[in-house]
Amino acid sequence: NYSNWDYSDQGANWVTKFKLCAGTKQSPIDIKAPTCDEGLNNSITFTNYDKTGSSKFTFENNGHSLVLKAPGPDAKVTLGSLGTFNFHQLHFHWGKDDTKGSEHLHDGKVFPAEMHLVHINSKYSTFQEAQQNADGLAVFGVFIKVGQAENTAFNFLSSSPSLIYEGTKVNVTQFAINTLLPTDQTIFYRYKGSLTSPTCDEIVTWTVFDQPISLSASQLAQFRIVKDNHNKTLVDNFRVVQNLNNRTITYWSE
Ligand code: SG4
Ligand code: ZN
């Protein structure tokens, strides 16, 4: 299972136990907008992101995060010449309080939480196969800020009291995934990086949206009641930012 690493031992321990975590193309990073290259003629095409299915999502506590899993590869994204990627699951990273929680930073700014939508390259049939390849995954990152209003697209978070313990799960009626995204999905940053937790494989094309989404304070509180793989409150489940090294970030604004 997942109990052989913790967010609290990410300093020396991850690198000792999981060699890939010492790589030079690691995630997350601080996205410094002024240093980015300008991208051209690229767009994200969403398929079935607007569809409500008859099957169910499962929403589950895996001891490191809350994960909403798709029943099948219905929703997908095409990233121009990079190919088509099937939606697999989404999960969250959050802080103990609103001063921290996101994995990526935006010009040094941290957000209270971040949502990751994980997609598998359609040329691979399993996650394990994708994990062997540099073009295996496309993960979308969405910054989460605190807003006044409840975000009704995230009503499924209200089932977190049933997900206190690692391994617990509930069914959620399938809804259109695009309701979770920022209203403007045409402004984003892209770079090549890694999974942000062990085994830190450098297999991810990251797309981080410029616009944050909002959750209410009480919705953010719904993350902070669940417990981790040691039965401790699951908070601060984010990795610290990694060096950019010899990488470029590309910025798209239309
Ligand atoms: C968190 O540990 C999630 O719980 C994992 O989700 C996720 O693993 C991991 O972060 C790394 O993913 O998008 N942050 S990330 O780079 O998505 C994967 C599950 O294990 C493979 C389901
Ligand atoms: Zn993540």
What are the b/e assignments for 7-24, b being 16+ CB within 10 Å? beebeeebeeebebbebe
Over residues 43-83, the pLDDT tens digits come to 799 999 999 988 999 999 999 999 999 987 799 999 999 99
Residue 2, pLDDT > 60, answer no
Q: Kindly state the average pLDDT of the residues 232-245.
A: 98
The CA R_g of the chain, rounded to the nearest whole Å, is 17
Per-residue pLDDT at 3: 57
Per-residue pLDDT at 192: 97
DSSP string, 170-190: EEEE---GGGGS-S--S-EEE
Asked whether the beta carbons of 78 and 84 are under 8 A apart, the reply is yes
Q: Kindly state the average pLDDT of the residues 209-218.
A: 98
Cis status, amide bond into 199, omega within 30 of 0:
yes
Atom nearest to 63 CA in ligand 1: 4
Give the ipTM: 0.97
Residue nearest to atom 21 of ligand 1 (CA): 195
CA geometry: angle 22, 209, 88, nearest 5 deg: 70
**How far is 248 from 113, CA to CA, in rounded Å?**
25
Q: Is the C-beta atom of 139 inside 6 A of ligand 1?
A: yes
Q: Is the C-beta atom of 118 inside 6 A of ligand 1?
A: yes
Q: Is the C-beta atom of 104 inside 6 A of ligand 1?
A: no
Residue 1, pLDDT > 50, answer no
State the catalytic residue, choosing from 64, 91, 116, 119.
64
CA geometry: angle 30, 89, 175, nearest 5 deg: 115
**How far is 215 from 213, CA to CA, in rounded Å?**
7
The rounded percent of the chain whose pLDDT value lies above 90 is 88
Over residues 131-159, the pLDDT tens digits come to 999 999 999 999 999 999 999 999 999 99
Q: Which of 42-46, 117-121, 185-189, 214-218 has the lowest mean pLDDT?
A: 42-46
| Residue 254, burial from CB neighbour count under 10 angstroms (0-12, 13-18, 19+) | exposed
Q: Which residues contact 10 (CB under 8 A, 6 or more apart)?
A: 239, 240
